[in-house]
Structure 1
Amino acid sequence: MDWGSVGLGAFLGIALTVGLLALAVYPLVRRSFLLWAAFRALCFAIMSIALFPIALPGSVPAGDFRVDIGEIALSLAIGSTGPFLGAYIENQPRFARVRYWLGTLFIVGVFGAIATALAPLWSGFDLVHDLLLLAMIFGMTAGLTIAVRSGSRFAQYQAVGYAPLIILGLLVLSYELSTGAPVPYWPVAALLAVLVDFIVTSGGVINGYITVKRERDAAWADVSEARIAVATDPLTDIANRRGLALRFRDPAFGRPTALAVIDCDNFKRINDMFGHDTGDEVLIAVAEGLKQENVFPARQGGEEFVVLIYGEDYQRLAETVRRQITLSVLEKVPEVPFPVTASAGLTEVRPNDTLDSAVKRGDEALYAAKDAGRDVLLTWQDGQHRQPRILRGV
Structure 2
Amino acid sequence: MEWGSVTFGAFLGIAAVFGVLSLALYPVIRRDFLLWATVRTLCFVIMSIALFPLELPAFFPAGELRIDVGEIALSLAIGSTGPFLATYIENRPRFARVRFWLYKLFALGVVGGLATALAPVWPWLDRVHDILILVMILGLIAGLAIAVRAGSRAAQYQAVGYAPLIIIALLVLAYELGTGEPVTYWPVAALFAVLIDFIVTAAGVIAGYMTVKRQRDAAVADVREARIAVATDPLTNIANRRGLALRFRDPAHGRPRGLAVIDCDHFKRINDMFGHDIGDEVLIAVVDGLKHENVFPARQGGEEFVVLLYGEDWQRLAETVRRRITISVLELVPEVPFPVTASAGLTEVRPNDTLDSAVKRGDEALYAAKDAGRDQLLLWQDGKHSQPRLVHGV
TM-score strictly above 0.5: yes
Cα distance change, pair 288–99 in 1 and its aligned pair in 2 (3 A): farther
Which runs of structure 1 show a deviation greater than 4 angstroms over 4 or more consecutive aligned residues?
Answer: none
| CA displacement at 1:393 relative to structure 2 | 2.0
- How many angstroms apart in 1 are the aligned matches of 2:262 and 2:112? 77
Residues 214-271 of structure 1: per-residue CA shift (max 9 Å, x gap): 1111110011011111111111111111111111111111111111111111111111
Residues 192-212 of structure 1: per-residue CA shift (max 9 Å, x gap): 100100111121222122111
Residues 350-365 of structure 1 aligned to structure 2 (within 5 Å): 350-365=350-365
| CA displacement at 1:276 relative to structure 2 | 1.3
Residues 362-377 of structure 1 aligned to structure 2 (within 5 Å): 362-377=362-377
Could you say which residue in structure 1 is the equivalent of 2:186?
186
Cα distance change, pair 81–302 in 1 and its aligned pair in 2 (3 A): same
Residue type matched to 2:203 in 1?
G
Q: SS at the partner of 2:252?
A: coil
Residues 122-137 of structure 1 aligned to structure 2 (within 5 Å): 122-137=122-137
* Contact 1:379 1:385 survives alignment (8 Å): yes
| CA displacement at 1:91 relative to structure 2 | 2.2
Gaps of 5+ in 2: none
- How many angstroms apart in 2 are the aligned matches of 1:103 and 1:248? 52
* Contact 1:88 1:208 survives alignment (8 Å): no
- How many angstroms apart in 2 are the aligned matches of 1:324 and 1:97? 69
Could you say which residue in structure 2 is the equivalent of 1:95?
95
Could you say which residue in structure 2 is the equivalent of 1:36?
36
| CA displacement at 1:76 relative to structure 2 | 1.2
Q: SS at the partner of 2:305?
A: strand
Could you say which residue in structure 2 is the equivalent of 1:272?
272
- How many angstroms apart in 2 are the aligned matches of 1:377 and 1:100? 72
Residue type matched to 1:179 in 2?
T
Residues 158-214 of structure 1: per-residue CA shift (max 9 Å, x gap): 211110011111111111111111111111110010010011112122212211111
Could you say which residue in structure 1 is the equivalent of 2:337?
337
Could you say which residue in structure 2 is the equivalent of 1:195?
195
- How many angstroms apart in 2 are the aligned matches of 1:167 and 1:322? 81
- How many angstroms apart in 2 are the aligned matches of 1:182 and 1:93? 42
Could you say which residue in structure 2 is the equivalent of 1:147?
147
Could you say which residue in structure 2 is the equivalent of 1:8?
8
Matched, 1:297 2:302: no
| CA displacement at 1:56 relative to structure 2 | 1.4
Could you say which residue in structure 1 is the equivalent of 2:215?
215
Could you say which residue in structure 1 is the equivalent of 2:73?
73
Could you say which residue in structure 1 is the equivalent of 2:63?
63
Residue type matched to 1:286 in 2?
V
Residues 214-253 of structure 1 aligned to structure 2 (within 5 Å): 214-253=214-253
Q: SS at the partner of 2:183?
A: coil
Could you say which residue in structure 2 is the equivalent of 1:391?
391
| CA displacement at 1:149 relative to structure 2 | 0.8
TM-score of the superposition, structure 2-length normalised? 0.97
* Contact 1:285 1:328 survives alignment (8 Å): yes
Could you say which residue in structure 2 is the equivalent of 1:257?
257
Residues 124-155 of structure 1: per-residue CA shift (max 9 Å, x gap): 22122111111111111111111111111121
Gaps of 5+ in 1: none
Identity in percent: 78
- How many angstroms apart in 2 are the aligned matches of 1:297 and 1:93? 49
* Contact 1:261 1:359 survives alignment (8 Å): yes
Residues 150-169 of structure 1 aligned to structure 2 (within 5 Å): 150-169=150-169
| CA displacement at 1:352 relative to structure 2 | 0.6
Residue type matched to 1:264 in 2?
C
